Amino acid sequence: MIASDAVIWNAPNDPHPARAASQRSYSAVARGDLAGWLSVYAEDAVLEDPVGSSMFDPEGKGHRGHEGLTAFWRSAIAPVAKFEFTIDDSFANPGSNTCANIGKIKASLADGSHATTDLIMVYVVDDHGRVTSMKAYWEPNRTMASFRAA
């Protein structure tokens, strides 16, 4: 399911629909593939990244549907030149539609400056394996404290 060298998976990798969807999502982001990323998500999906109010979602209500996800992509993903994902653990009980991944995302700008986000990402999928909810738990202040200029 991982289709990018920018995704390092150090976690359990048993087949699971939510885990597979998370891997497809990370791979699409790493490739800069908006259409591929949207195809991972149901039409009515809700993305909270991070959960709560933030610079990407001042009201803290999440980004809803493909229109909301596209707006999130343009503000949070598109400006980044390179993403590197390291997933260190993944919890997905057999028979459930949810997984929680623990890891880091390094986001580098074109000038080489970068920041790393430590986070927990929770994915819920529908019966077709498309994400209906994604919640990323991380603290923007901690990410900004990791910023390193080029």
Q: Is residue 33's pLDDT more than 70?
A: yes
pLDDT band (50, 70, 90) for residue 1 = low
115-139: average pLDDT = 98
pLDDT band (50, 70, 90) for residue 3 = confident
Query: Which residues, at least 6 apart from 35, have a Cβ–Cβ distance to it below 8 Å?
Result: none
Query: Which residues, at least 6 apart from 80, have a Cβ–Cβ distance to it below 8 Å?
Result: 107, 108, 109
Gap between the Cα atoms of 97 and 118, Å rounded:
24
pLDDT digit string (tens) for 55-99? 999 999 999 999 999 999 999 999 999 999 999 999 999 999 999
Distances (CA, A) of 120 to 2, 13, 55, 113: 18, 17, 19, 23
118-129: average pLDDT = 98
Residue with tokens 């949810």: 98
Residue pair 125/18 in contact by the 8 Å Cβ criterion: yes
DSSP 53-112: S-SS-TT---EEHHHHHHHHIIIIITT-SEEEEEEEEEE--TT-SEEEEEEEEEEE-TTS
Tokens of 25: 């999502």
DSSP SS3 for 148 = strand
Position 4 scores a pLDDT of 80
